[in-house]
Amino acid sequence: MPRNKTTWPVWLRRISQGVFLILFFYLFLQAVYHPVNQVGRGVDFFFQIDPLILLSSLLASHQLVAALLLSLLTAGVTLLAGRWFCGWVCPFGTFHNLFTALRAARAKDKIESGGYSRWHRGKYYVLVGLLVTCALGLNLTGWLDPFSFLYRSVAIVVYPMVNDAIVAAFGWIYQADPGVGRLKVTVVSEPVYDALRRHFLATAQPHFYGNFLA
């Protein structure tokens, strides 16, 4: 069957997802130790608009963090517009939509028709359990909160992989035996390599499990 034409609301949602995904990675790269030992501005933006973090923090510490009040806006719009946040703003939701689109047609039809199993209800039991532990003074929501989960995954897995790939690429370019076919791109790559190396050596990132090009 021919595919239906994509409507403008779908394109608008995709643009919104792309913008917030780029913003997430930009803020992720700002979470570095600068020479003055301070992180970049706004790195906790996505955590500040997360109502789950506000609720869990309030239950665990019995204190209201002013910066987290921004998440009330997210909760308020959700009451009016439904589950818009996951499909329009949340980077984790963007990846979820992306990998869902890569599924087989039968699997996607099952999702769109609401073909959920009883195991999907387990997430609500997990949520209640986490909130109970918060009320008892033990805040464990950071282990499963979407933003925390995505940030931790990028920091521990994706970022080191990109780091190793770039280091390996430059190592092959600059250390390979000329007799084996060393690339003759030093006129272009030398300034780029030098600029990257000086930048990332000046902003070492030990909490990202290794310096970039160090």
Instruction: Please give the tally of structural domains in the chain.
Output: 2
Q: Which of 42-56, 97-111, 155-169 has the lowest mean pLDDT?
A: 97-111
pLDDT over threshold 80, residue 159:
yes
**Do 76 and 22 share a structural domain?**
yes
Residue 204 has a pLDDT of: 44
**Do 167 and 140 share a structural domain?**
no
**Do 66 and 135 share a structural domain?**
yes
For CA atoms 156, 162, 163, 164, the dihedral sign is positive
Range of the domain at 135: 8-144
Local confidence band at 205 (pLDDT 50, 70, 90 cut-offs) = very low
Q: What is the 3-state secondary structure (H, E, C) of the chain?
A: CCCCCCCHHHHHHHHHHHHHHHHHHHHHHHCCCCCCCCCCCCCCHHHHCCHHHHHHHHHHHCCCCHHHHHHHHHHHHHHHHCCHHHHHCCHHHHHHHHHHHCCCHHHHHHHHCCCCCHHHHHHHHHHHHHHHHHHCCCCCHHHCCHHHHHHHHHHHHHHHHHHHHHHHHHHHHHHCCHHHHCCCCHHHHHHHHHHHHHHHHHCCCHHHCCCCCC
How much is the pTM?
Answer: 0.69
**Do 31 and 118 share a structural domain?**
yes
pLDDT over threshold 70, residue 169:
yes
Return d(Cα 172, Cα 178) in angstroms, integer. 11
Residue 22 has a pLDDT of: 93
In a domain, 2, yes or no: no
Return d(Cα 84, Cα 73) in angstroms, integer. 13
**Do 174 and 106 share a structural domain?**
no
